[in-house]
A and B are shown apart, each in its own frame.
Chain A
Amino acid sequence: MRRFIVNFLLIIFSFVLQTTVFRYIDFGGITPNLLLILTVSLGLMRGDKSGTLVGFFCGLLVDVFFGTYIGFYALIYMYIGFIIGKFHKIFFPQNIFLPMLFIVVSDFVFGFTCYILFFLFRTKFDIDYYMLHVIVPEMVYTTIVSIFFYPVILRLSTWLEDIEQRSAKKFV
C-alpha cells in the first residue's frame, strides 16, 4: 500500500514536471521524457509487473491530457515497462550505467514507435529530419536528466524495501 502511494505520487510528480517546468527549460522545443525514465527505472527495480502497471498509468495520463484517442500512449509505455521488467531478474539496479543504457534504447524505441504510428501512417516519410530534430535530441536530453532522476527513484525504492523487510522481520 505504501509503495502504491509512493509510486502514484512519483507518476503525478513526473507528469506535472514534464508538462510545466521542463517546458520552460527546453532545448529547441524538446523536453525530456520523465515518465519513460520512471517506467524503465521501476521496471528494472521491481520487475515486469510493476513496469507494466506504472507504464500503463503514465501512458493513460498522457492520453487523457494530450492524446487524441485514449490508449495509444498507454500501450506504448506499458510494453516498454513490461519488456524492461523482464531484465529485473538478470541485472542489479544499483549500477547506474546499465539503467541508462536501457533508458537510451527505450526512448529511441518510444520515439520511433511514435513516428511510425503518428507520422509514417500519414505519409510523412522524411525520417532523417524527425530522427535529427525530435527522436535523437529527446533521447540525449532524457539520458542527461536520468543521471539525476534515476538515483532519486533508486533511493526511494531501497528505502521502501528496507521498511518492508523490517516489518516482515518483526512479523516473524
Chain B
Amino acid sequence: MSPIIKKGGEKFTLPSKYLLFILTFLCVALIMITFSTNIFTASLNSFFGTIIVPMQKGITSVGTWMTVAADKVQTVESLMAENEALKKQVDDLTTQNTNLEQDKYELTELQKLYELDSQYEGYEKVAARIIAKDAGNWYHSFVIDKGSDDGLTVDMNIIAGSGLVGRIIDLGPDWAKVQSIIADNSAVSGTVLASQDNLIVSGDLELYNNGVISFSKLIDDADKVNVGDKIVTSNISDKYLPGILIGYISTIEDDSNNLTKSGTLTTAVDFEHLSEVLVILQTKQQVENVTE
C-alpha cells in the first residue's frame, strides 16, 4: 500500500530573487523605522552586544598588552638619560608648582568674590576604554566598554584629558557608541573664549587628514578673534555642556558674504592615539533642570 503523505516531502526552497526582494523590503522598512523612531535599537543593541562586545574587549586588552610589552623593549640607556632630564624637570616644576599654588589660592579667593565656579571640574565622571573603532573608513565613531548598566545615557558628553571628544549616540547594556567631533557628520556649537563669539565646529574627513577640523559662521565684526584663541563649547548647545575645551584656532578666513568668518582649528585631543576616555555622567538637560 502506498502511503498517502509523502514522508519528508520535497524540501521547501525559496528562489534567491524572492529572498533578495524580501530582505530588500526588510532593509527599507528598517531604515524608515529607525529614521523616525528608535524602537528596535534597544533590543538589537543588547542582542548583538552580548555576542560581540566581550570578544572586542578581550582582543583590545590583548592588543594593549602587546603595545605595552613592545614599549618595554626600549633601551635602558635612553631611559636613564630620560630619567636624569626628568629629575631636573621635577625640581623646576616643584618650584613652579609652589608659585602656581599661590596663584591658585588667590584665584579661588577672587572666584569666591565673583561667585564664579569652574564648571566642568565639578561634574561626576567615569572612565571607559575604547574597544572598537568604525568598521568603515568614512566616519570616526567608536565603541566604549561602559553602557546603560553603568548609568550611561544617550547624549552624555565624552572628554579625554581636558578636551571634548564627542557624545554618546547609542548604547546597549555594556557598550556605548560615541560620535566624535571630528566625524564628518558631526557639528558642535562653540564659543571663542576670549571674545564670547559663537561659531559652529564641524568635523571634516578631508581636513582631518591634515590634523585640523573646520569651523564656520563666526560673526566677528570687531576682528577680535585671532589665531591661537581657545574654542570651548557654547551655552546655547542643547547636547554639550558649556565650557568644555574643543581646540585652538589655526586659520581664519573671511567668508564671501563678508558677514561671517570660517577657518580651521586644531583639536585639544589627539584622536589618533585615543584609548581611554572619560564620560561625564550628566547631560545638558539634567544640568538645566537642577539650576532651574
A residues apposed to B, CB below 8 Å: 12, 15-21, 23-24, 28-31, 33, 35, 47-49, 52-53, 56, 61-62, 64-66, 68-75, 78-79, 82, 85, 114-115, 118-119, 122, 124, 126, 129-130, 133-134, 137-138
Contacts and interface: CB of A to CB of B under 8 A. Distances in A.
Given A64-B48, A126-B206, A29 B135 contact: no
Contact of B132 (A49, A65, A119): A65
B10 to A, nearest CB: 16
Contact of A52 (B20, B135, B184): B20
Contacts, number: 134
Contacts of B185: 68, 118, 122
Contacts of B259: none
Query: In the complex, which range does the number of interface residues on chain B fall in?
Result: 35 or more
Interface string B165-183: 0000100000001000000
A24 B67 CA distance: 10
Interface of B: 14, 16, 19-20, 23-24, 26-31, 34-35, 40-41, 44-45, 48, 51-52, 55-56, 59-60, 63, 67, 131-139, 141, 143, 169, 177, 184-185, 205-206, 209, 272
B58 to A, nearest CB: 9
Contacts of A73: 136
A49 B17 CA distance: 8
Of residues A18, A35, A61, A68, which shows the largest number of chain B Cβ atoms within 10 Å of its Cβ? Answer: A68
Contacts of A64: 44-45, 48
B138 A71 contact: no
A69 B29 CA distance: 11
Given A65-B48, A69-B35, A49 B63 contact: no
Contact of A31 (B14, B40, B45, B137): B137
Given A49-B19, A70-B44, A114 B138 contact: yes
Given A12-B52, A20-B63, A20-B132, 17 more contacts: A12-B51, A15-B52, A20-B56, A20-B59, A48-B20, A49-B14, A49-B19, A61-B52, A62-B136, A64-B45, A70-B30, A72-B27, A73-B136, A74-B23, A78-B24, A126-B206, A133-B206
What is the predominant secondary structure among interface residues of chain B facing chain A?
Answer: helix
A133 B20 CA distance: 33
A9 to B, nearest CB: 11
A140 to B, nearest CB: 12
Contacts of A75: 24, 27-28, 31
Nearest to A122: B185
A125 B28 CA distance: 26
Contacts of A19: 56, 132-135, 143
A37 to B, nearest CB: 13
A20 B26 CA distance: 29
7 contacts: A19-B133, A30-B137, A65-B143, A69-B30, A75-B24, A118-B138, A118-B184
4 closest cross-chain pairs (CB), A and B: A71-B30, A19-B132, A71-B31, A71-B27
Nearest to A134: B137
Contacts of A24: 63, 67
A166 B44 CA distance: 38
A46 to B, nearest CB: 11
B206 A129 contact: yes
A56 B136 contact: no
Contact of A18 (B28, B60, B135, B272): B135
A71 B136 contact: no
Contacts of B60: 20
A126 B177 CA distance: 28
B52 A52 contact: no
Nearest to A135: B137
A35 B137 CA distance: 13
Nearest to A118: B138
B48 to A, nearest CB: 5
Contact of B137 (A16, A49, A138): A138
A126 B51 CA distance: 39
A21 B26 CA distance: 32
A56 B23 contact: yes
- Residue among B24, B27, B48 having the largest count of chain A Cβ atoms under 10 Å: B27
